[in-house]
Amino acid sequence: MAADMCPYPFVKADPMAMPEEFTWLREHEPTCRVTLPSGDLAWLVTRYHDVKAVLSDTRFSRDLNRPDAARMNTAIGFGNYGNPFADPPVHTRWRGLVARAFTPRHVEHLRPRVQEIVDDLVDRLLEAGPPGDIMEALAFPLPITVLCEMIGVPVEDHVRFRGWVHDMLSSELTSEQRTQAAMTLIDYSRALTGAKRVDPADDLLSGLIAVRDEDDGRLDENELFVTIMTLLVAGYKTTAAQLGKGLLTLFRHPDQLEALRADPALIDSAVEELLRYSPPGGGVGITRYATEDLKVGDVVIPKGSTVIVARHAANRDEAHFPDGERFDVGRPTANQHLTFGAGPAFCFGAPLARMEMRIALETLLRRAPGLRLAVPEEEVPWTSDTAAQAPEIVPVTWEREMAIISHGS
């Protein structure tokens, strides 16, 4: 294939598979130019070492809100706006205020409550009997319920809140409908922020309102809303997609599913391998902007270039992961994947996402013996969103007479 300026993103005939172009590029042209749907040019990086180096180098800016940055299509850029996509020191200050709620120690304190939520959701799934939809029964409600409780959304508003978030992020709705959902969510968040200022509680939003950084600065109103939106996008849709894709990956590899059932102690490495082998998203990658001429591998990327790092390709680089195209729930180095990024912008929500996946998968496999797809895999519908492709529903069945209907029994 001719790599230079080939169309990108690559077309995926199989939503579960990594495009073959990544493998060829990684071997022959690991840093090359591609053409985006807008017609703009960008650089694509596919090797593990190079991807990690770009993500760790702050000279590759996260701020794509620049007039000469490439656009994904003719209407929009890459959506990298606000503090979450700023460079130091702005991003450092913001991250320091928000990330403290997602440290491994703090997340570990949430484990009993996350287990309760999962048990309740699995109870409802099993009590209704097979077949059931894992996305609707577990993958969607789990992360949004956890986030609502962390943020401080009242229980009576959880259903409405989830509906707004779902509509805001839906690729099946019109831009007007998504905008309306976002505006409704912002209005609600504004009202909730006002209520927390008057009557603060032990939750993330109250803490963000009150906290001061070392320079005695506060998050302003806009920063609060951007933070909430960022947590929802990163912590809801991606986690839900990963749970759905993770189960489909296990169903596609029955020998590995049986190995995990036979040895539940493999759950930690299995989750890491799922994140490595089948990460969330449609395979577009993470974008950066070169603030000066920078060398990646043997290629000098000119100042002002937009760079896309392909985590999917890097995660299967056999120079770092031997036999990287093979899915192995016991892989000892799986946790070295780049799904959560690398460097100063490493995803601070990673501990929470990992814990939610571990608890959800362990509970499902333990309480629903014989869990399997209820339809042929080719009948599972997928979203059309290239950047965040995920299964819409995952129909499953199980051995009802062997299911553990109540976790308390």
**Prediction pTM value:** 0.91
What pLDDT does residue 77 have? 46
What pLDDT does residue 88 have? 73
Q: Domain extents for the chain? A: 6-402
CB 386 within 8 A of CB 284: yes
What pLDDT does residue 398 have? 96
What pLDDT does residue 282 have? 63
CB 99 within 8 A of CB 347: no
Starting at the edge strand found earlier in the chain, the sheet holding 31-35 runs 6-7, 31-35, 41-45, 306-309, 286-290, 60-61
What pLDDT does residue 85 have? 64
What pLDDT does residue 101 have? 79
CB 178 within 8 A of CB 214: no
What pLDDT does residue 213 have? 45
The domain 6-402 having CATH identifier 1.10.630.10: the answer here is yes
What pLDDT does residue 214 have? 46
Tokens read off for 130: 């097979």
Residues in the chain where the model's pLDDT stays below 70: 1-4, 73-87, 89, 171, 212-218, 282-283, 385-388, 407-409
Distances (CA, A) of 282 to 285, 385, 387: 8, 7, 5
Three-state secondary structure of 11-39: CCCCCCCCCHHHHHHHHHCCEEEEECCCC
Q: How many CA atoms lie less than 13 Å away from 375 in the CB half-sphere?
A: 12
Write the DSSP string, 147-170: HHHHHT--GGGHHHHHHHHHHHH-
Whats the size of the chain, residue-wise? 409
